Copies of this chain bind each other. A is one copy, B any other.
Amino acid sequence: MSHRTLPTLYPIQYQDLVVRALIEDLGRGGDLTSDATVPSDLVGTARLVARERGIASGTEVAMAVFHTLDQRVVRVSSADDGTAVRAGSELLCVDGPVRSILAAERTALNFLGRLCGIATLTGRFVAAVAGHGADIVCTRKTTPGLRTLEKYAVRCGGGANHRFGLDDAVLIKDNHLVAAGGVAAAVGGARGVAGHTVKVELEVDTLEQLDEALALGVDAVLLDNMSLEELRRAVEMVAGRAVTEASGGVTLDNVAEIAATGVDLISVGALTHSARSLDVSLELELG
């Protein structure tokens, strides 16, 4: 089990999404074009190929799209999620009735392009901080309904996962502090409410707040929109007593500098809310 171990994705975690996506595309009338142009007994082999370099993610889901539409479409081979691919690399190869392959094509590509896109962008951030100790982590800024898959794609790209939702960790932000009436009240409230398996993280905007947070013994501090100099000072102040997470305005251009401050984690919302899809296409061979 290394740091790069991928989470297990069980089919029941995405099967409902796959069915809904297929039905969304088939509509009420099905694939008019393939019905009109493809003989029902024509079989072939389809290769889903990356047209640019990136990181594989979602090959199981894409396979499930084909197989869910027509059980006669079977896997020939596939790349391992989490591995690097070059332009021209095959991500998935399937075999079966051409009509069904073409009917499922767009849905399979939509999943695959998006997940590879997230993994690839994550991989760029991870590469940019190589040599520093910082992990790249995602946020809850995910596409509605796709959180499990998108968080998985971040892992494929070498990133780590922040909390999955509102219920698996406490993360006290500025609005919570105002509502609670200050850091001490907020952290005290969290201790009273959260179970023993729940960690408490606090967003701090200034070093004074950080001081207060450390005195209260939180598990992690989110250092929001701090300058590099502030981040360095914060890391020194924390001195290992809490996990340090830098956040806000992180780009591929500045992430290495941020990592050099010694923070443990750098969270990047763009991994999931603004990754562009990897360019993936389907190449068909008949017979």
Contact = CB atoms under 8 A, between A and B. Distances in A.
A193 B35 contact: yes
Given A7-B30, A12-B23, A36-B170, 9 more contacts: A5-B36, A7-B32, A29-B151, A30-B148, A33-B176, A36-B194, A98-B179, A107-B144, A196-B264
A191 to B, nearest CB: 8
A31 interface: yes
Contact of A220 (B68, B151, B197): B197
A166 to B, nearest CB: 4
Interface of A: 1-3, 5, 7-10, 12-13, 17-40, 42, 44, 68-70, 98-100, 102-103, 106-107, 109-111, 113-114, 117, 135, 137, 140-148, 151, 160-173, 175-180, 185-186, 188-190, 192-199, 201, 219-220, 243, 245, 264-265, 270, 273-274, 276-277, 282, 284, 286
A5 B40 CA distance: 10
A197 B179 contact: no
Contact of A273 (B36, B113, B175, B286): B113
Contact of A8 (B5, B7, B18, B31): B31
Contacts of A117: 273-274
Most B-side CB within 10 Å, residue of A20, A176, A194, A282: A176
Contact of A197 (B114, B163, B188, B282): B163
Contacts of A166: 25-27, 29-34, 103, 106
Contacts of A161: 29, 195
Most B-side CB within 10 Å, residue of A7, A26, A27, A282: A27
A169 B52 CA distance: 30
10 contacts: A1-B185, A27-B27, A29-B164, A32-B166, A33-B173, A145-B145, A196-B199, A196-B264, A197-B201, A197-B220
A68 B13 CA distance: 11
Given A12-B69, A179-B39, A28 B193 contact: no
Contacts of A273: 110, 113-114, 117, 276-277
A13 B30 contact: yes
A24 B147 contact: yes
A70 to B, nearest CB: 7
A276 B36 CA distance: 30
